[in-house]
Amino acid sequence: MTPRTLVAGSALVAVLCTAAAAVAGGTKSLRYTTYREFDDAETKGVLISSLGELSAGFASRKVDLKVPFVRSSVTAPDGTIYLGTGDQGELWAYAQKGGLRKIAKIDTPVISTLAFGPDGKVYCGTIADGRVVAVDPKGGSWKQVVQLGKKGEGHVWALAWDASRKVLWAGTGPKGELYAIENGAAKLVWTSTEKHLLAVQVANDGSGALYVGSGERANLYRVEKDGRARVLHAFAADEIHAIFEKNGSLFIAVNEFSGGAAPLGGGGTRITIGPSTPSVPAKAPLPRMGTRAGKGAVYRWDPDGRIDQLYAAPDTWLAGVVVEANGEVMAAAGGQGRVYRIRTDRTVLTAYEFPERQVLVMELRGPVKLFGTGDQGVLHLLEAGPPKVSMFTAKVFDATFPTRFGGLRWSGAGKITFETRTGNTAKPDKTWSGWGKLDGVVNLGEIGSGRVRTGDARYLQWRVSFGTERAVLRHLTVYYLQQNQRPRLTEVTIGDAVAAPGGFGGFGGGFGAAPGAVRPPKSTLVKIRWKVENPDGDTLNYRLFVREEKDPVWKPLGGPEPMLGKVEFDWQTEAIPDGHYLAKVVVSDEPSNPKDRALTHELVSAAPFLVDNRKPEITGLEVRYPFLAGRARDSYSVLTELAYSIDGGDWVPFYPADGIFDGTAKTFSVRLPDSLLPGQHTVAVRTADEAHNIGVAQVTFRIGK
């Protein structure tokens, strides 16, 4: 048994926070304060609060029925609890003095509902054959009272004894019919528009009316004794599974199941899951035949029509609801093996968690209090006093890297004892250290501290035991220092990822712009970029260097101080000599680590980058119409384009004399159009190099006299 406590709107989780250290690579802390999810935690007799408080929980005792599941229950006036089970249709009884005994076996698969009559008989409703059977608990004999529905199809979902009218009410399916059973005869009182009537509660106002909850549209009905019915409230859900009346108010378990069609409730009240909603997230149930996934909620309906959602379970449906004498509401989870307690101040406590994944029965009104489960037919009997063992074992903490675990600090009261163990496998095994108590434990009032005794490792697990009923742990912090991890540069690039080898869209194939297009001016700023892997999230700085390919000396860029956080740099190459250059980046995690722990890594760009800011030139330009001749040259780069323009017209590309752009100097001779008119003309010649520099020259010539 694993009792737990949570405050409304909070959840069970261990929140990993960074320590107060100013640097990312320094001491960190694992702090337990609020909780959302603790799927792997192991608890024995411990209550856990979202306020960060752990304390001794409740005691219970397990009794195995050796049946697949306990489906229904009723408490007799003498305190005996009768239990309907499946899948063999057995009726059991548990009494404070007599213990557990089997009463009868009925030829039915499931006893779905029970009622205790004034004649001392236990009335059983069955699933799949639609019968109501009366059992004599003294001798175990039984007989059929009525058949409600066809055998193999009919279901009796709910029985309720009306002591004032001496009538046994039965809610059925699959036709959604309500029957009154008197003197061994059944009378159809009301036929709903639903398929199933799952919950029936006799009104305590003496009117003889009933409150009925349906399955399919999740409507809450009031049915008068003459069969007149009205809807008190409609829910946009799949079913109302249980109803409990207290002082005129109704407490209702409403469920919406996943994996099927949308609920037919239309515009009814929807189950709300949100920050302001009392809810306790639960771990997803393991797949099992017959289990249902969905969400559930507990609502309070008051006689003035007000509806109030008290609690929402986002990951499980609810199988039952009971209101105790002090006004606190108990809700049983049909998919998580949990029992939730909803206090009058809306605090939600996961009061019990059982290894069986379905709590289908709650009997809390007599001298014996118990829960019955599905998944495996077991009774959990509540006992007075604290549990014999009260211990909380945290889930394994993964520090990601080899780690030095240091001190534990906590706030608490009473006798509490901590133990820790460490290892290098995700699941504790023989290679882990044994459980060991803390070293140097000091208690100063409600504040305590101690140190982890075990050695450096990747994984840590801690546990705490409570030596007294009033012992409490309010919060806990574990301090640790990870082994520093080296940052690694993975790529350094200069300029574009792929440099274009050609010119401006002429025969050289360069920029791809159409002849005559407006082109942006060349910039002397070159972008240097790099990528880095940072395994432990340290703050990083960078130092940047460049050198000409043939020069062995690296020259720093970016000033005397390293760059912090940036992963790119704008290199101004205006005053840089032409040449092919390499870039080197050095990364360090020194902002996050002491000097003796800091690590560095460096990487050089894979390919040299051409820096060439000088324009190519055209010399010896001469026109002997119709031929234009000259020479183009560049100091460093290969030429990539030649083109001419006559009188400001479109640029016309042409090849050099040898028909290929493959050198820094090229002669050319090109025939101009024969269609030029006599008179004076101007021809301009443009050339470009592989660094995208442009040189232009022009000459004036005359045709005719």
The pTM for the full model equals: 0.66
The yes-or-no verdict on residue 505 having pLDDT over 70 is no
Instruction: Using pLDDT thresholds of 50, 70 and 90, give the confidence band for residue 19.
Output: very low
Instruction: Using pLDDT thresholds of 50, 70 and 90, give the confidence band for residue 481.
Output: very high
Instruction: Using pLDDT thresholds of 50, 70 and 90, give the confidence band for residue 37.
Output: very low
Question: Alpha-carbon distance 443 to 73, whole Å?
Answer: 49
Count other Cβ atoms within 10 Å, centred on residue 496. Answer: 10
The yes-or-no verdict on residue 282 having pLDDT over 60 is no
Average pLDDT rounded to a whole number, residues 468-494: 91
The yes-or-no verdict on residue 475 having pLDDT over 70 is yes
| Domain map (residue ranges) of the chain | 15-37+394-482, 488-611, 617-703
Please give the CATH number for the structural domain made up of 488-611: 2.60.40.10
* The pLDDT value given to residue 516: 45
Question: Alpha-carbon distance 271 to 218, whole Å?
Answer: 12
* The pLDDT value given to residue 351: 80
The yes-or-no verdict on residue 499 having pLDDT over 50 is no
Instruction: Using pLDDT thresholds of 50, 70 and 90, give the confidence band for residue 348.
Output: confident
- Among residues 639, 646, 654, 650, the alpha carbon closest in space to that of 623 is found at 646
Q: What is the DSSP string of 480-514?
A: EEEPP---EEEEEEESSSS---S-SSSTT--S-PP
* The pLDDT value given to residue 5: 41
Report how far apart, in Å, the C-alpha atoms of 175 and of each of 43, 155, 158, 196 are: 45, 9, 14, 6
How many whole angstroms from its chain centre is CA 372? Answer: 31
Average pLDDT rounded to a whole number, residues 394-422: 93
* The pLDDT value given to residue 506: 38
Half-sphere exposure of 109 (CA within 13 A, CB side): 10
The yes-or-no verdict on residue 498 having pLDDT over 50 is no
- Per-residue pLDDT of 230-263, as tens digits, reads 999 999 999 999 999 999 999 999 999 976 555 5
Token pair recorded at residue 621: 């330009």
The yes-or-no verdict on residue 38 having pLDDT over 80 is no
Token pair recorded at residue 245: 């009346």
With a CB cutoff of 8 Å and minimum separation 6, the contacts of 691 are 522, 610, 611, 612, 613, 636, 637
Q: What angle do CA 232, 233, 238 make, to 5 degrees?
A: 130
- Per-residue pLDDT of 555-588, as tens digits, reads 999 888 999 988 999 999 988 898 999 999 999 9
* The pLDDT value given to residue 120: 94
The yes-or-no verdict on residue 22 having pLDDT over 90 is no
Question: Alpha-carbon distance 297 to 573, whole Å?
Answer: 69
User: 87-96, 317-326, 337-346, 643-652 — which is least confidently predicted?
Assistant: 337-346
Percent of residues, the chain, with pLDDT higher than 90: 65
Please give the CATH number for the structural domain made up of 617-703: 2.60.40.10
pLDDT top residue among 44 and 668: 668
For residue 258, the SS3 value is coil
Token pair recorded at residue 246: 């207290």
* The pLDDT value given to residue 45: 77
- Per-residue pLDDT of 262-278, as tens digits, reads 555 557 899 998 654 44
Average pLDDT rounded to a whole number, residues 97-101: 91
* The pLDDT value given to residue 520: 59
* The pLDDT value given to residue 89: 93
Q: Do domains 488-611 and 617-703 have the same CATH topology?
A: yes
**Alpha-carbon torsion (451, 454, 460, 463), positive or negative:** negative
Average pLDDT rounded to a whole number, residues 172-184: 94
User: 22-31, 188-197, 449-458, 618-627 — which is least confidently predicted?
Assistant: 22-31
The yes-or-no verdict on residue 373 having pLDDT over 70 is yes
The yes-or-no verdict on residue 16 having pLDDT over 70 is no
- Per-residue pLDDT of 517-564, as tens digits, reads 445 567 889 999 999 999 988 999 999 999 999 999 999 998 889 999
- Among residues 41, 50, 60, the alpha carbon closest in space to that of 5 is found at 50
Average pLDDT rounded to a whole number, residues 326-330: 94
Amino acid at 463: R
The yes-or-no verdict on residue 9 having pLDDT over 50 is no
* The pLDDT value given to residue 504: 42
User: 168-182, 289-303, 622-636 — which is least confidently predicted?
Assistant: 289-303
Average pLDDT rounded to a whole number, residues 628-647: 94
With a CB cutoff of 8 Å and minimum separation 6, the contacts of 453 are 420, 436, 437, 438, 439
Average pLDDT, the chain: 86
* The pLDDT value given to residue 56: 81
* The pLDDT value given to residue 274: 64
Among 3.30.70, 1.10.287, 2.60.120, 2.60.40, what is the CATH number of 15-37+394-482?
2.60.120
* The pLDDT value given to residue 178: 96
* The pLDDT value given to residue 52: 64
Q: Could you tell me if 665 and 683 are in contact, meaning their C-beta atoms sit under 8 angstroms apart?
A: no
Question: Alpha-carbon distance 420 to 148, whole Å?
Answer: 61
